[in-house]
DNA sequence: GGAGCCCTTTGATCCACGTCAATACGATTT
DNA sequence: AAATCGTATTGACGTGGATCAAAGGGCTCC
């Protein structure tokens, strides 16, 4: 060890006010003073290794989690073993909102890669959002956004064909990578074909075939999990120009 | 006009404190004094005739709505005309949460029968829930419940077969009628086969055939929209005992 | 209370996606 | 660098639900 890093430095490094995700996360719309109050509330960070659970269905709900680094999937498992991936979450997105309703989590949250989350004790968040109007509003927006997102997935699952679903998925990923300062056209998927299939209500073989088809048609270049989108308008056309 | 009805009588008749839906609705968990404060906030009621919109996708979001009487469906419509029913709502349930995220509604809410809603101006609800902890918490629970419900629909759409979906739908309806003091086993559906199909990601013919199959198997007695559940355990078995 | 129309049911056929199976690829371990 | 294992691709075939079609039933609105 060459030098001792002051504790304050470490804390500032992980504070909301210094976090480059704050525009996507809970601090959005807060003024600097309010962000400081939020900082105090975010007690601890937690590292989750790839494939490990952040929480499990049935766990007592105590906190929501903001993703600092890495990515997650959430899934629901039925008694008979069938499971459904309900979402993929990226940095700046919030996990755990499902737990508020019953005080217990109703799904599993699993890291797709080594990740880190900010732990936000929920009762303290409610307390602070009674005092800070902009925090309250931003939190409500985040919950509402989740509801709107879910409606989009229902639309996808209920009325789109396989290739449309995959196109919608790729465009959505592209947009979210863009919002995080990454390339809109080239990215690395952290989930398997099976997980994509579960999310899209398809079998992994169907996902794989759809990828191959897109490649043949010059829409994307696929190399395993590495995706390069070659024709964004083409993908969008796939979505909207439906016969019926 | 025979006599003048005092204004107070009318107001008490529609007040949260006098509403028999309050255990299902926003006032749940509030003490009487707090319910009175909520009462003041619920400015007006609005009657919506069958087939009419409570709000449309794109409308500016100003209020959420609690259903006093009747029932609704919400749907999302794609540019190419395809639509997806995202939910059916009954008395005591809250509509409009989708609008918080962008300040505009992202779906349509349409009355399935002549209905009445309580209009809850959202900015005033946020204001009051900064003062009344139990209201804040109940509101968060309602939003979270919506997220959990949506995950259930994703599971249904993503990994169940047609008859399982319909069984899940019927059991869900039964449970919600029960919670409202109606018979668990006999009820009237307010939506068409087409709307059920849209919700369940099936064509109306498939819904109709599944009903017929259930009837043959002695699980339910179906007479158009009138449903009598004859074998609840049988329906539940259909859900859980899946081969794979 | 009758006419019209929407809703529902049922049958016949088709096709998109699931299933089963074999192979190939790539990351990780030793 | 070889061995191993999870992941992905591709092919052949089967099937559940969509589609097309026609007839009957029950609301709704005059």
**Nearest 5°: phi and psi at B191?**
-105, 160
Model confidence band, residue A2 (pLDDT cutoffs 50, 70, 90): very low
Protein-to-nucleotide distance from the CA of A206 to the C1' of C27, whole angstroms: 24
Does the pLDDT value for residue A14 go beyond 80? no
A2 part of a folded domain: no
Model confidence band, residue B171 (pLDDT cutoffs 50, 70, 90): very high
List the CATH number of the domain containing A89.
2.60.120.10
- Which residue range(s) make up the domain with B28? 7-149
Question: Domain check: are B33 and B57 in the same one?
Answer: yes
- Residue pair A202/A164 in contact (Cβ under 8 Å)? The answer is no
How far does the CA of residue B95 sit from the closest CA of chain A (Å)? 12
B141 part of a folded domain: yes
Question: CA B184 to CA B173: how far, in whole Å?
Answer: 8
List CB contacts of B158: < 8 A, sequence separation 6 or more: A84, A85, A157, A198, A199, A200, A201
Does the pLDDT value for residue A156 go beyond 90? yes
B1 part of a folded domain: no
Model confidence band, residue A43 (pLDDT cutoffs 50, 70, 90): confident
Does the pLDDT value for residue B26 go beyond 60? yes
Question: Domain check: are B57 and B176 in the same one?
Answer: no
Question: CA B202 to CA B206: how far, in whole Å?
Answer: 6
Yes or no, beta carbons of B126 and A148 under 8 Å apart = no
DSSP character at residue A112: S
Question: Domain check: are A148 and A166 in the same one?
Answer: no
**Chain A contact for B237 (CB, 8 A cutoff):** no
Q: What angle do CA A63, A69, A72 make, to 5 degrees?
A: 65
Does the pLDDT value for residue A9 go beyond 70? no
Lowest mean per-residue pLDDT among A12-26, A183-197, B2-16: B2-16
Strand D proximal to A205 Cβ, under 7 A: yes
Residue-wise pLDDT for B71-96, tens only, equals 999 999 998 889 999 999 999 999 99
- Chain D nucleotides close to protein (CB under 7 A) are 7-12, 16-21, 26-27
List the CATH number of the domain containing A191.
1.10.10.10
Q: For residue B13, what pLDDT is reported?
A: 56
Question: CA B151 to CA B172: how far, in whole Å?
Answer: 14
Strand D proximal to A179 Cβ, under 7 A: no
Question: Domain check: are B89 and B129 in the same one?
Answer: yes
Question: Domain check: are A53 and A76 in the same one?
Answer: yes
Quote the strand ranges of B134-185, DSSP E. none
> What is the arithmetic mean of pLDDT over B48-66?
96
Model confidence band, residue B5 (pLDDT cutoffs 50, 70, 90): very low
Sheet holding B72-77, edge to edge: B53-55, B108-111, B72-77, B83-89
Question: Domain check: are B94 and B168 in the same one?
Answer: no
Question: Domain check: are B133 and B195 in the same one?
Answer: no
The Cα-based distances of B175 to B73, B138, B141, B172 in angstroms read 18, 21, 19, 5
Question: Domain check: are B180 and B137 in the same one?
Answer: no
Does the pLDDT value for residue A4 go beyond 70? no
> What is the arithmetic mean of pLDDT over B112-124?
95
Does the pLDDT value for residue A161 go beyond 50? yes
Q: For residue A1, what pLDDT is reported?
A: 42
Residue-wise pLDDT for B124-150, tens only, equals 999 999 999 999 999 999 999 999 999
Question: CA B233 to CA A80: how far, in whole Å?
Answer: 16
B234 part of a folded domain: yes
List CB contacts of B15: < 8 A, sequence separation 6 or more: B39
Does the pLDDT value for residue B12 go beyond 90? no
Q: In chain A, pLDDT over 90 holds for what percent of residues? A: 85
Q: Do strands A115-121 and A83-89 pair parallel, antiparallel, or not at all (unpaired)?
A: unpaired
Cβ burial, residue A92 (10 Å; 0-12/13-18/19+): buried
> What is the arithmetic mean of pLDDT over B26-34?
93
Q: Do strands B220-223 and A44-48 pair parallel, antiparallel, or not at all (unpaired)?
A: unpaired
B155 part of a folded domain: no
Longest C-alpha distance within chain A, in Å?
A: 68
The Cα-based distances of A160 to A150, A155, A164, B78, B157 in angstroms read 15, 7, 6, 11, 11
Q: How many domains does chain A have?
A: 2
Model confidence band, residue B18 (pLDDT cutoffs 50, 70, 90): confident
B96 part of a folded domain: yes
**Chain B contacts in chain A segment 35-74 (CB below 8 A):** 74
> What is the arithmetic mean of pLDDT over B99-117?
96
Model confidence band, residue A149 (pLDDT cutoffs 50, 70, 90): very high
Last residue of a domain, one of B84, B115, B149: B149
Model confidence band, residue A12 (pLDDT cutoffs 50, 70, 90): very low
Question: Domain check: are B145 and B164 in the same one?
Answer: no
Yes or no, beta carbons of B80 and A242 under 8 Å apart = yes
Average of per-residue pLDDT values in chain A: 92
3-state SS, residue A3:
coil
How far does the CA of residue B122 sit from the closest CA of chain A (Å)? 10
B2 part of a folded domain: no
Count Cα atoms within 13 angstroms, Cβ side, for A72.
Answer: 30
Residue-wise pLDDT for B186-229, tens only, equals 999 999 999 999 999 999 999 999 999 999 999 999 998 999 99
> What is the arithmetic mean of pLDDT over A67-90?
95
Pick the more confident residue, A192 or A2: A192
Question: CA B4 to CA A56: how far, in whole Å?
Answer: 60
Q: For residue A80, what pLDDT is reported?
A: 86
Question: Domain check: are B142 and B168 in the same one?
Answer: no
Q: Show residues of chain A in contact with B82, CB under 8 Å.
A: 155, 159-160, 242, 244
B34 part of a folded domain: yes
Q: For residue A243, what pLDDT is reported?
A: 55
Question: Domain check: are A185 and A64 in the same one?
Answer: no
Question: Domain check: are B65 and B176 in the same one?
Answer: no
Q: For residue A242, what pLDDT is reported?
A: 67
> What is the arithmetic mean of pLDDT over B105-117?
96
Sheet holding B226-229, edge to edge: B186-188, B226-229, B220-223
The C-alpha R_g of chain B, in whole angstroms, comes to: 19
- Residue pair B234/B219 in contact (Cβ under 8 Å)? The answer is yes
Last residue of a domain, one of A97, A131, A156: A156
Q: For residue B203, what pLDDT is reported?
A: 97
pTM for this prediction: 0.94
3-state SS, residue A187:
strand
Question: CA B187 to CA A142: how far, in whole Å?
Answer: 36
Yes or no, beta carbons of B155 and A86 under 8 Å apart = yes
Question: In which region does residue A57 sit, left (phi positive, over 0), alpha (psi from -120 to 50) or beta (all else)?
Answer: beta
Last residue of a domain, one of B149, B169, B201: B149
* Interface size, chain A vs chain B, as Cβ–Cβ contacts under 8 Å: 162
């Amino acid at each position: 060890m060459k030098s001792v890093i002051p504790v304050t430095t470490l804390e500032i490094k992980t504070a909301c006010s210094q976090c480059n995700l704050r525009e996507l996360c809970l601090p959005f719309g807060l003024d600097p003073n309010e962000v400081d109050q939020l900082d105090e509330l975010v007690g601890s960070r937690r590292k989750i290794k790839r494939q490990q659970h952040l929480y499990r269905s049935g766990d007592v709900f105590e906190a929501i989690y903001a993703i600092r680094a890495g990515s997650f999937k959430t899934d629901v498992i039925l008694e008979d073993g069938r499971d459904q991936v309900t979402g993929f979450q990226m940095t700046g997105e919030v996990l755990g909102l499902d737990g508020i309703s019953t005080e217990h989590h109703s799904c599993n949250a699993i890291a797709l890669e080594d990740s880190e989350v900010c732990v936000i004790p929920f009762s303290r968040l409610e307390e602070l959002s009674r005092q800070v109007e902009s925090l309250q509003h931003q939190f409500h927006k985040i919950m509402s956004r989740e509801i709107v997102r879910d409606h989009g997935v229902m639309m996808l699952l209920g009325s789109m064909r396989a290739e449309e679903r995959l196109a919608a998925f790729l465009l959505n990923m592209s947009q979210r990578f863009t919002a995080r300062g990454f390339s809109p056209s080239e990215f690395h998927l952290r989930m398997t074909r099976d997980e994509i299939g579960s999310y899209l209500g398809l079998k992994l073989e169907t996902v794989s075939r759809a990828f191959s088809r897109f490649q043949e048609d010059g829409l994307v270049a696929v190399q395993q999990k590495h995706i390069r989108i070659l024709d964004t308008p083409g993908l969008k056309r796939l979505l909207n120009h439906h016969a019926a």
